[in-house]
Structure 1
């Protein structure tokens, strides 16, 4: 191929690339696109994260806790405590601590968590019972008067303030209703059919009870006047939120943070069990029943008597057998004195009198050594066999 053709091909390729670039330049239009990656890990772990940020923007100091252990270090003056989590495990002692803290000047806000039971005269919410308020189901209430039905926002809770022409609107759950049988509440907020927030004084402090706190969670706090209501209830105070009292167990924490160490520990325990369980020597198989002999039965019987009755019973049995045989060979033996009986035994067995006295004398019931016991049995058997 000549050099001219090479130059011509290169020029054509360059021309095509230039034309394509111009086309793309005039046709391509830049645009922006937002990709939603969902809530951040921090927001997923803290459902009231947006509420905390909002209160901080209003100049309030906000913190959150996981238990009431922080109560002794909270100054009740100019401080709000928001109990927004599950209180099923709250003890009477903790309830007394919270109420005493409120009586000293703290602001307490908590969520009613149980419906009032008319039969038992209580609910499963000890704190709610202590402030003498009842929570009922809205569906069990009487029908509202006709003028209430004209409410343009029947499912929104309205809070009326002095010198304000319009109420504040909040999106409490309308399925529940708060009742004040002792007329203790100083303020309240209602929807068209039910009451969802009540406030009452308690010593130098105040208590606010609400039917739910979902309106202050991340998805709903920006709706209506939800955020403003939270600020209104905690204004001019430091705020502590307590909403997550469910802690991971120790096994869960270990599995999450030290999985390799747990695997090593389990392997070590398994090896230890295997090492302890190793047999020392071959397995001894039971002898077949067909080879059982009289000698084996006698030995087993002697072992059984030795375990149950001890050495004394076996020695005494041999002595009684010797006495029975000598009485058979020497009538009137039992009428003789002990010395004469030993002389008779010495004459019949050919054993010295001293050996016979050692063998036939009553033995103390203390346990003999194996060697001494064996010698005593052998001596008695020798006397018996010679009779």
Structure 2
């Protein structure tokens, strides 16, 4: 009976679960859902990945380089080189190579990285100085352009083209401004506040200078006409994006690939200094205690006190000893004025007042010469012995 009852209970539970499953299956409605896992590792490592994909969709051949030594392998004609990384470590020789490549027909685009210094007559950007353009802060402009009241996008950079009624809009950083003091630029693009892009001819090629390249990073490239502007500046050419022209130093390479060798080298150098620093030859034996005289102890003690406390403390101790003896010899001495004290001291010791004033006056902080110090100590000892 008990077994049959448990069997019935199990059967009822199974039927209920089956009915619930059928009900949920009939009521459930499938729908697609997109889960955003964030940027891929490739996109995180390459901020211009979207720009590369966009240019490839326009039919351009796009490559990415990390070092400047790729330049000799690039054919100048119908080729665009975009310097989008830091260039502070570029050498004058590399800049000469880059300008020669552009003069032979290459199209060069780079970001101005430093502000013009009026005092030194240069900036910290050798390439920007070579093309004779200056970069400054928009807020420091002496004669800022007048703001057009009906401008619907004053913070956007406008590029006007021939046979086009409306300009193209790009979101350059308006905090920076490009200047052309020698009127070398062939074209430029401005916002309501400043100029953010200039193009110059250089031999058979051309140079494009911009204040920043953040508008071509993800996700800013999809805004306004940022993507179109990048295509317009590189149209009909093969494109090479150069992110980083900095070369790892020898120390960085050694630290990365040979850390154990560096530790061994440092230890070897330390042992070498230790070996050189060890004294050679026999050590002097300490002098026998029996030969030391009372005068040597006094000289050593005086020398120690002089080095430890200085001349002022020694002279002050002698003066205080004289004052203590005077108080015993002449009650009420400390209540007298300084001149009266010196007169009493002169009377008791038989010394002239000018000698007493030199000996008992407070001493300045500067160090006395050995001769002056010895004479002053002798005067004080004479006064003390006379009491």
Relative to the length of structure 2, the TM-score reads 0.64
Cα separation, 2, equivalents of 1:93 and 1:249:
18
Q: Give the deviation of 1:212 after TM superposition.
A: 0.4
Cα separation, 2, equivalents of 1:236 and 1:172:
24
Cα separation, 1, equivalents of 2:131 and 2:263:
51
Aligned to 1:152: 152
The answer on whether the counterparts of 1:216 and 1:230 sit within 8 Å (CA) in structure 2 is yes
Cα separation, 2, equivalents of 1:32 and 1:83:
42
Equivalences for residues 201-220 of structure 1 within 5 A? 201-220=201-220
Residue-by-residue CA offset, 1:267-286 (whole Å, 9 max, x unaligned): 9x99xx99xx9xxxxxxxx9
Equivalences for residues 1-387 of structure 1 within 5 A? 1=1, 4-141=4-141, 142-146=143-147, 148-246=148-246
Cα separation, 1, equivalents of 2:66 and 2:159:
30
Change (3 A) 1:250 1:33: farther
Q: Give the deviation of 1:252 after TM superposition.
A: 6.4
Q: Secondary structure at the match of 1:113?
A: coil
The answer on whether the counterparts of 1:149 and 1:192 sit within 8 Å (CA) in structure 2 is no
Cα separation, 2, equivalents of 1:129 and 1:262:
39
Q: Give the deviation of 1:30 after TM superposition.
A: 3.4
Residue-by-residue CA offset, 1:142-180 (whole Å, 9 max, x unaligned): 34325x232110111011111111111111000001111
Q: Secondary structure at the match of 1:161?
A: coil
Q: CA RMSD in A?
A: 3.3
Q: Give the deviation of 1:28 after TM superposition.
A: 3.7
Q: Give the deviation of 1:37 after TM superposition.
A: 2.2
Q: Secondary structure at the match of 1:44?
A: helix
Cα separation, 1, equivalents of 2:180 and 2:262:
58
- Who wins on radius of gyration, i.e. which is larger? 1
Change (3 A) 1:144 1:264: closer
The gaps in structure 2 that reach 5 residues or longer are 275-283, 289-387
Q: Give the deviation of 1:27 after TM superposition.
A: 4.3
Relative to the length of structure 1, the TM-score reads 0.64
Q: Which moved more, 1:217-226 or 1:166-175?
A: 217-226
Cα separation, 1, equivalents of 2:136 and 2:261:
54
Change (3 A) 1:189 1:25: same
Residue-by-residue CA offset, 1:306-345 (whole Å, 9 max, x unaligned): xxxxxxxxxxxxxxxxxxxxxxxxxxxxxxxxxxxxxxxx
The answer on whether the counterparts of 2:122 and 2:129 sit within 8 Å (CA) in structure 1 is yes
Cα separation, 2, equivalents of 1:29 and 1:264:
65
Q: Give the deviation of 1:246 after TM superposition.
A: 4.0
Change (3 A) 1:145 1:254: closer
Q: Give the deviation of 1:288 after TM superposition.
A: 11
Q: Give the deviation of 1:135 after TM superposition.
A: 0.8
Cα separation, 2, equivalents of 1:95 and 1:207:
13
The answer on whether the counterparts of 1:51 and 1:227 sit within 8 Å (CA) in structure 2 is yes
Change (3 A) 1:101 1:251: closer
The gaps in structure 1 that reach 5 residues or longer are 278-285, 291-387
